[in-house]
Structure 1
Amino acid sequence: MTSQPAPVLDLRGDLAALVTALCDVPSVSGDETRLADAVEAALRGFGHLEVLRDGDAVVARTHLGLPRRVVVAGHLDTVPLTDPPNLPVRVLDGPAGPELWGRGTVDMKAGVAVQLALAARLGADVVPAADLTWVFYDHEEVAANLNGLGRLVRNHPEWLEGDVAVLCEPTSGGIEGGCNGTLRVEVRTRGVAAHSARAWTGHNAIHDAAEVLARLAAYTPRTVDVDGLAYRESLNAVGIRGGISGNVVPDECVVTVNYRFAPDKSLAQAEAHVRELFDGFEVTRTDGAEGARPGLDDPLVADLVASVLAVTGGQPTAKLGWTDVARFSSLGIPAVNLGPGDPLLAHKDDERCPVGQVTATHDALLAWLTAH
């Protein structure tokens, strides 16, 4: 944890410099306070914004009396730094122009920089087409029960009210609609412990797990069209444990299985499907989150798609992972993912974001939010 003072952020300056300033404040999950302080201080410098805070989540809202409200959200935390640290940010030449290299450039401080720059401008210099809520939250990269957006949903759902939401997670500057749901279960086999020299007096639980793995190996995941987007599912063993010592026949084996399911299924339906697949075995659900449908048929979202197409030419695709758009969906708010940076580079040692994508995402959102 750090006790250094919060840096001063220039929300009206160069966009790449703002990304750099945000990234150069390390904010690994659980250590977001210094960056949250800087974001709060910067936003409080603009009189058109009401600024609210819950823990290390900061919310800024306009109150212009407009008939619709758009929520734009992003998280402040990152995964841990590399060793040696991949900060401060470096600017290097890339195939499409300068790139910002360093932890958080993709996931997701380039998106946060876009939010902050637009928050400073819209409602002050330019009248937006809708009232705006800007959300900057903590603890996204860790356990779901710690997630700052989830905490806001529980503590202050009125802060998040809106007609449509955009999550500035990295999408290479295109729109990714909705998200897959996720389910984690433990499939357990039971045996009878015995001395391995007299194995016939026991029953080997690890051997029984072969059938669990065989069913997984034979499983064919679906690719499902949901509202015009193709969601690819996956079902995988992601962990296995068993055994007591090197001379004991194990009496238990546990295979951890993760199911990423298309948003045409509810979490309950996904769990029922997995239980059916492993019929005859003991199945325990350990974690799960609903997916979110794309919401591309919402008129506001359709307008956003048009704005992005005009700037980047990119067609909407499905978000194949889970993101916090699902939290907005649970509130009845259509939500999409849109942010700079290649999601395949998130969390990597060579994390980097093209400056051109930051600018293009900013311009697409600006055009949409000011289209009267």
Structure 2
Amino acid sequence: MSAATTLDTTADVVQLTRQLVDIRSVSHQEQEIADAVEAVLRATDHLAVTRRGNTLVARTESGHAERVVIAGHLDTVPENANLPARLEGGVLHGLGSCDMKGGVAVALKLAVELAAPVRDVTWIFYDAEEVEAVHNGLNKLSQSDPDLLQADFAILMEPSNASVEAGCQGTMRVEVRTTGERAHSARAWMGSNAIHSAADVLARLEQHQPRTPVIDGLTYHEGLNAVFISGGVAGNVLPDECVVTVNHRFAPDRTEADAEEFLRTFFAPYDVRVVDTAPGALPGLRVPAAAAFIEEVGGAVAPKFGWTDVARFSTLGIPAVNYGPGDPTLAHKQEEHVPVEHIERCERVLRSWLTGGGA
């Protein structure tokens, strides 16, 4: 599509998804899709629109006692011979169809068409979700305009098989370092092999029994796994250092500080250095808006195994869930696709919830 791309929001939500898929929007290259979305939003009288970079915020201002955020990211991972979109047998194929232009299409169509929702809505379409957090448009917005994010409840339209996945796990990566003393491998008794010492670290990981805490009736399953190991100096030298990189996926009843303390204790007396961390998000299913939404969807809720931007809302004190069309296991794959039925179901459920229509 050209830089002058226009979106036809009068089309059905599946065709709107197809239009969005056909706008290339790899992370850091979202201007074209952001411009097209902005044009649609600014032509809608009932929305107050704010743009920050390639992130767009559109708000209803009807004075309702309750406000919800519905958010989705505009970017995709790099193309992998999976454009343009194609519709076959009730399935829409193409880059971003699942992650997450199906969800964006649902949100955009409803943002335009629902002039008088029963609760005020903040619609957010943001950039750079698929890259480092420092670039993430939602993260930047939380720092520059936190007032625009204030709400009683948030829905992130990440693919979740058109069902509710509540909260998310936190994630932390640490480097666990073992040390030794260099020596010629022909005289190994004169040194100490740091790689051999790492066997104890790996044994602890192998024997670890993960926690499975129940939060708001949902069972979260933690993880603790080695993901990299490095060490060595030369083919005839005992290494004096070995580093095991460990990823810990922790349940949202633990803070990042709790997770770090656990890891330092678990690996003591080895040196532990945190290299990356992000908090989890509690389900928050007891707030009225969340309870009403769960009832609308049908009452079935699963825990989110993994990290998503719902954690950013949780950090701001806003309960959040993941709800969007598509199978999350297909995200980033060449054969990425989304069932038409998922897109249509998400639109139907959200429309009913926002208009008080009942399921």
The ranges of structure 1 where at least 4 consecutive aligned residues each deviate by more than 4 angstroms after the TM superposition are: none
State the match for 1:213 in structure 2.
202
Relative distance call for 1:160 and 1:6 in structure 2 (3 A) is: farther
C-alpha offsets along residues 165-218 of structure 1, whole Å, 9 cap, x if unaligned?
Answer: 110001111011111111110001112223333333322111111111110000
State the match for 1:324 in structure 2.
309
Cα distance in 2 for residues equivalent to 1:181 and 1:236: 14
State the match for 2:185 in structure 1.
196
Cα distance in 1 for residues equivalent to 2:247 and 2:173: 4
Residue 115 of structure 1 and its aligned partner are, at CA, apart by 0.5
Amino acid at match of 2:295: A
1:38 to 36, 39, 52: 36
Residue 6 of structure 1 and its aligned partner are, at CA, apart by 4.0
Contact 1:6 1:35 (C-alpha < 8 Å) held by counterparts: no
**Structure 1: runs of 5 or more not aligned:** none
2:334 to 332, 349, 358: 349
Q: Number of paired residues?
A: 357
Cα distance in 1 for residues equivalent to 2:236 and 2:301: 56
Q: Does 1:118 align with 2:110?
A: yes
Amino acid at match of 1:64: S
Matches within 5 A, 1:253-268: 253-268=242-257
Residue 321 of structure 1 and its aligned partner are, at CA, apart by 0.7
**Structure 2: runs of 5 or more not aligned:** none
Amino acid at match of 1:116: L
Residue 334 of structure 1 and its aligned partner are, at CA, apart by 1.2
State the match for 1:101 in structure 2.
93
2:263 to 274, 281, 294: 274
Amino acid at match of 1:101: H
Contact 1:294 1:335 (C-alpha < 8 Å) held by counterparts: yes
State the match for 1:364 in structure 2.
349
Cα distance in 1 for residues equivalent to 2:234 and 2:82: 41
Residue 351 of structure 1 and its aligned partner are, at CA, apart by 1.0
Relative distance call for 1:59 and 1:281 in structure 2 (3 A) is: same
Q: RMSD in angstroms over aligned alpha carbons? A: 1.4
Q: Does 1:164 align with 2:153?
A: yes
C-alpha offsets along residues 56-106 of structure 1, whole Å, 9 cap, x if unaligned?
Answer: 111111112222211100111111221xx111111122xxxx001111111
Per the normalisation by structure 1, the TM-score is 0.93
Contact 1:12 1:120 (C-alpha < 8 Å) held by counterparts: no
Q: Does 1:247 align with 2:236?
A: yes
Per the normalisation by structure 2, the TM-score is 0.96
Identity of aligned residues (%): 54
C-alpha offsets along residues 263-289 of structure 1, whole Å, 9 cap, x if unaligned?
Answer: 111111111111111011000011111
**What's the secondary structure of 2:329's corresponding residue?**
helix
State the match for 1:11 in structure 2.
9
